[in-house]
């Protein structure tokens, strides 16, 4: 008995906005079945002593402290502006 049927493949393809040929349906059916079988095999492992985690590798905050400091002056910032209106960058209108 197959874990994945054509109806499931067609539903996933629809959600992903994919048009699949019959050959692709066969390939993806086999691949998805292999993935699900592997997940079932992983369920056999004893994970009772493993701490739940959000990431596979340790993650830490790498942001610096938010401390005020001098910024670039107006004329230096406007030097590379392709167009300006007074002290502001002039950009094309993008919203009607």
User: How far is the C-alpha of 28 from the C-alpha of 13, rounded, in Å?
Assistant: 10
Q: Walk me through the domains of the chain, giving residue ranges and CATH numbers.
A: 6-42 (1.10.20)
Global confidence as pTM: 0.49
- What does 57-89 look like in DSSP terms, one character per residue? S-----PPP--------HHHHHTT-SSEETTEE
**Tens-digit pLDDT profile for residues 52-94:** 888 888 777 888 888 999 999 999 999 888 899 999 999 888 8
Backbone angles phi, psi at 23, to 5 degrees: -65, -45
Judge whether 81 and 89 are in contact, CB under 8 Å. Answer: yes
Sorting pLDDT into bands at 50, 70 and 90, what band is 12? very high
User: How far is the C-alpha of 20 from the C-alpha of 13, rounded, in Å?
Assistant: 7
């Amino acid at each position: 008995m197959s874990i994945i049927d054509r109806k499931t493949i067609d539903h996933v393809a629809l959600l992903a906005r994919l048009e699949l040929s019959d050959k692709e349906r066969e390939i993806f059916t086999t691949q998805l079945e292999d993935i699900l079988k592997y997940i079932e095999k992983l369920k056999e492992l004893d994970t009772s002593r493993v701490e739940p985690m959000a990431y596979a590798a340790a993650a830490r905050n790498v942001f610096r402290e938010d401390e005020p400091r001098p910024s670039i002056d107006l004329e230096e910032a406007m030097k590379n502006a392709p167009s300006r209106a007074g002290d502001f960058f002039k950009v094309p209108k993008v919203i009607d």
